[in-house]
A = this chain, B = another copy of it.
Amino acid sequence: MNRAIRTDLAIELREDIKDRGKIDGIEIETRISQEKIKTTIIHVNDQTGADTLGKPVGTYITIECPEIREFDEDIHKPLCKELAHDLKKMLGEARSILVVGLGNREVTPDSLGPLVTDHLFITRHLQMEHIHLQEEPEYEISAICPGVMAQTGIETVEIIRGICDNIDVDAVVVVDALAARSSRRLNKTIQLADTGISPGSGVGNHRTEINSQTIGAKVIALGVPTVISVPSIIDGSLDVIADTFNQSYGKKLMESFSEQQRYELAYHLAEPELADMFVTPKNIDELVKRISFTISEAINSMIFT
């Protein structure tokens, strides 16, 4: 039924649930830092919660930057700190970490994963190479950019599982570009989830899930929304259109729709060719460069402490 992804963000799905009170099977914590970084932790505790939210059982942490005018150098450091803190907590006892940069380096909004691995401080091989650091690293970091199926002909899950079968890894951190519904979250929200990921979902190509079942190791998904799907764009204009065409009838009609019904409608309103397209800002190169640098620095900051 869910014809195409409407959002990869648990926090946007949460907004769809009209009842703002306590929801069965879902627990939510929120904290706002001094620098106005907002962290929301959504625990989906059971299948009831999973059905309500539309996301598997697990924990979803969303880190949101304050308004874009303030997304400057000053926000880089506290954002790094918050991300490192949350990622460490999710990693738990895991010390040997494989970071997987998903996505297509050649398509700007999809290059987040590869850009993150570009700036990582890789430590796994240092001992093999007899390179000794002044400080003993706390995490053993390895990394891979497997490429996308059009480039490899191989499901990403097969590549990662193969590597994990050959080297000792405690946890896999998969970094990927996501799709959001709202343009205001693009490139300034980071989502961590311990439930795995569908590679390419941000740009709409559904592949076999990468999760602890398919990989055989703990999997943490670290994502940033960099695109909006075309139906989301049309969806966003439906209320205004309803108003324009027929105030009373259209409005009532729209109100009677569930979020999913609205999305289905928008999906049908779009020309079929548009389903394989995405919407992204013109300065996406700068935005992706900036947020990927923050993520690399957050991971690097964890290595020595």
Q: Is A124 an interface residue (CB 8 A)?
A: yes
A105 to chain B, nearest CB (A): 9
Task: Pick the interface stretch among A7-15, A26-34, A77-85, A140-148.
Answer: A140-148
**Those of A69-119 within 8 Å (CB) of chain B:** 104, 106-108, 117
Are A273 and B241 neighbours in the complex by a CB distance under 8 Å?
Answer: no
A272 to chain B, nearest CB (A): 9
Knowing A241-B269, A245-B241, the reply to whether A151 touches B143 (Cβ < 8 A) is: yes
Are A184 and B273 neighbours in the complex by a CB distance under 8 Å?
Answer: yes
A296-B279 Cα distance, complex, nearest whole Å: 28
Known pairs A162-B166, A183-B271 / 20 extra A-B pairs, C-beta < 8 Å:
A122-B150, A122-B151, A141-B153, A143-B151, A143-B152, A144-B159, A150-B286, A158-B166, A159-B162, A159-B166, A162-B162, A162-B163, A228-B277, A236-B271, A237-B269, A240-B268, A246-B249, A276-B283, A277-B282, A280-B280
Knowing A230-B279, A246-B250, A270-B237, the reply to whether A144 touches B150 (Cβ < 8 A) is: no
**Could you say which residues of chain B place their CB within 8 Å of the CB of A147?**
143-145
**Could you say which residues of chain B place their CB within 8 Å of the CB of A164?**
162
Q: Is A265 an interface residue (CB 8 A)?
A: yes
| Interface residue ranges, A against B (CB under 8 Å) | 104, 106-108, 117, 122-126, 128-129, 140-147, 149-155, 158-159, 161-167, 183-184, 203-205, 228, 230, 233-234, 236-238, 240-242, 244-246, 249-250, 253, 265-266, 268-271, 273-274, 276-286
A12 to chain B, nearest CB (A): 15
**Could you say which residues of chain B place their CB within 8 Å of the CB of A273?**
183-184
**Could you say which residues of chain B place their CB within 8 Å of the CB of A117?**
151
* Top-6 shortest CB links A-B: A162-B162, A124-B153, A142-B153, A106-B285, A237-B269, A183-B273
